[in-house]
Chain A
Amino acid sequence: MSNKPTHKTSSGELAGFVRLNEGIKGVVLIAFQINIMALNAILLAHRAGEVALGFGVISKELRSLSVELTGLMQELSNDAYLAVNLISDLLRQERRYRLLKKATDLVADPSPALRDVMVRREEEFSLITYRVRDVRLRLLDRLEDARKLCQFGTAISRSAKIEAAYGREYGRALAEVSQEFDQKIQNILPSIEALCTGMQRR
C-alpha cells in the first residue's frame, strides 16, 4: 500500500471535500439571490413595457442560469457527500490495514491465508481509491461547467447594463438591477475558481 494515499493524505482529502461542500452552500445562496432578483427584474421589465423588452429577455436568461447553477451545485453536493463517505471508509480501511500489517510483521512466518487477507485488503483499498479518483474527476467536470455558466452569466449581466441604458424613465431602476446582477455573478466566480483550485490541487 506504500504507493497509495496514506492516512495523512486521506484526512487532508476528507477535509478538502468538506470544504468543497461549504463552498457549494455559498454558491447556492448567491444563486438563490440571483433567482429572486431576476424575478423582480422580469416584473420591472414588464412594467417598463417596450423600452425594456431586451432587459426582460436577459432577466429570464439570468433566472434560468440561477436554476441551472443550483441544480449543478446539488449534483456537486451529492458527489462531495459520496466522496466524504468513500474517504471515511478509506480511513477505516487504512487503520485496519495498518493493524493487520503490524500483526503480519510481528508473526515469524505468516501463513499463506494471512498473506491472502493482506492482498484482499490492498485490492479493496485500491478499489476505493479509484472510486474516489473517479468522483473527484466528475466533480472537476461539474465545476468546469459551473465556471462556464458563470462566465456566460457575466456576459449577459453586462448585456443587461447595456439594455438598461435604453430604459428611458425606467433607466435608473434597470441600471441598479443590472449592477446588482453583475456584482452577484462576480461574487460567484471567485468561489467557483477557489473550488476548482482546491480540487485540482489534490
Chain B
Amino acid sequence: MKTAQTIYQEGSHRWVVIARDPSKPNCVIDTNEYLISREGDNLLTDPGGSEIFPAVFAALSTIVDPMAIRYLFASHQDPDIISSLGLWLECNPEIRCYVSRLWSSFIPHFGGDENSLAAIPDEGMSMPLGSGQIEYVPAHFLHSSGNFHLYDPDARILFSGDVGAALMPPEEDELFVRDFDKHIRHAEGFHRRWMGSTEAKLDWCERASRMKIDMLCPQHGSIYQGDDVMRFINWFAELPVGLSTFRHRR
C-alpha cells in the first residue's frame, strides 16, 4: 500500500506526498500524488490512474478525510495522471478538477463534465487555497501540448509533473534525491524521449531558475530539494532532447 508522508508543514499549511506502492501491479507505473492542505482546503495533484485509486484513497485517509478533497489538479491528460477522475467524483460530486483548457473536452472520457472541470488558460492562473494562493505555471510541450505545473509560493514548492521524473530501480527508490549524479542517470532516458521540444525546455528552465523553489516534486521518482533543484534545472537545460536525439539513437 502507498504511504503518506508530510514533506512541508507551516501551521495548517501542509504538503503530503503519497508515494511508493510495493503492492501495485508491475504493469502499472508508480506515481507520486501530492496533497496540499491549507485551512481546510484540500487539493490533490495528479490523482493517478483508476487502478491505483484504492491505494491513493487509503493512504490519504491516514491524513485527511479523502471525501473532503475539494480540488484536483491534472498537469496533463495522461491516464496515469487523471483516469481516476470518475471515481473521485463518485466520492464527491462537488470536486473541481483544474486542467489545461486543451484537455477539458478530452478528460470527460475518464469521467466528469463541464461542471467538474475547470479549464486553465494557456498563460496559467492563480487560485486561492485557504488563506494563500497557488499558481498554475505553464509547462506546455513538457511533455504534453497542454501542460501545467503547480507552484506554491509560500511553501516554495513546485509540483513539476513529468519534469524531473525518474524511473528508478526498486533498490534506489528513495523519496528524496540523496545523490544527484547517481539519481539523474535514471531521469536521463525519460527526459530525452518524453520532452520533445528544446525551445519549451529552455523557456521552462529560464522561468524556473527565477522562481524560489525549495522542493521540486515530480510525479514519478524522487523529490529534489535544496541545491539539487538548481542542479536539476541546469542539467535539464543542457540535456539534448527532441526528435534529433531520437533519430541519433535509432
Give Cα A105–Cα B65 distance, bound, in whole angstroms. Answer: 15
Size of interface on B: residues with Cβ below 8 Å to A? 17
* Separation of A113 and B54 alpha carbons in the complex (Å): 16
B50 touches which one: A99, A105, A117 (CB < 8 A)? A99
B168 at interface by CB-CB < 8 Å: no
Q: Are A106 and B1 in contact (CB under 8 A)?
A: yes
**Contact B91 A114, beta carbon cutoff 8 Å:** yes
Report chain B residues within 8 Å CB of A113: 67, 91
Q: Are B67 and A99 in contact (CB under 8 A)?
A: no
Chain A, Cβ-Cβ closest to B67? A113
**Chain A residues near B62 (CB-CB < 8 A):** 108
Q: Which residues of chain B come closer than 8 Å to A114, judged between CB atoms?
A: 66-67, 91
A100–B90 CA distance with the chains assembled, in angstroms: 9
Within 210-231 of B, Cβ neighbours of A (below 8 Å) are at: none
Main secondary structure, interface of B, reads: helix
B58 an interface residue at 8 Å Cβ cutoff? yes
One digit per residue, 1 when the CB lies within 8 angstroms of any chain B CB and 0 when it does not, for chain A 165-201 equals 0000000000000000000000000000000000000
A51 to chain B, nearest CB (A): 67
Using Cβ atoms and an 8 Å threshold, which residues of chain A touch B55? 106
Are B65's CB and A111's CB within 8 A?
Answer: yes
The verdict on A107 contacting B90 (CB below 8 Å), with A99-B50, A113-B67, A114-B67 known, is no
How many positions in chain A have a CB within 8 Å of any CB in the partner chain?
15
- A121 neighbours in B (Cβ, 8 Å): 90
Binary flags per residue of A106-120, CB closer than 8 Å to B gives 1, else 0: 111001011001000
Beta-carbon contacts under 8 Å, A106-158 to B? 106-108, 111, 113-114, 117, 121
B residues sitting closer than 8 Å to A (CB atoms) are 1, 50-51, 53-55, 57-58, 61-62, 65-67, 86-87, 90-91
- Ordered nearest first, which 10 A-B pairs have the shortest CB separation? A106-B58, A102-B54, A103-B57, A103-B54, A107-B61, A113-B67, A99-B53, A107-B58, A106-B54, A117-B91
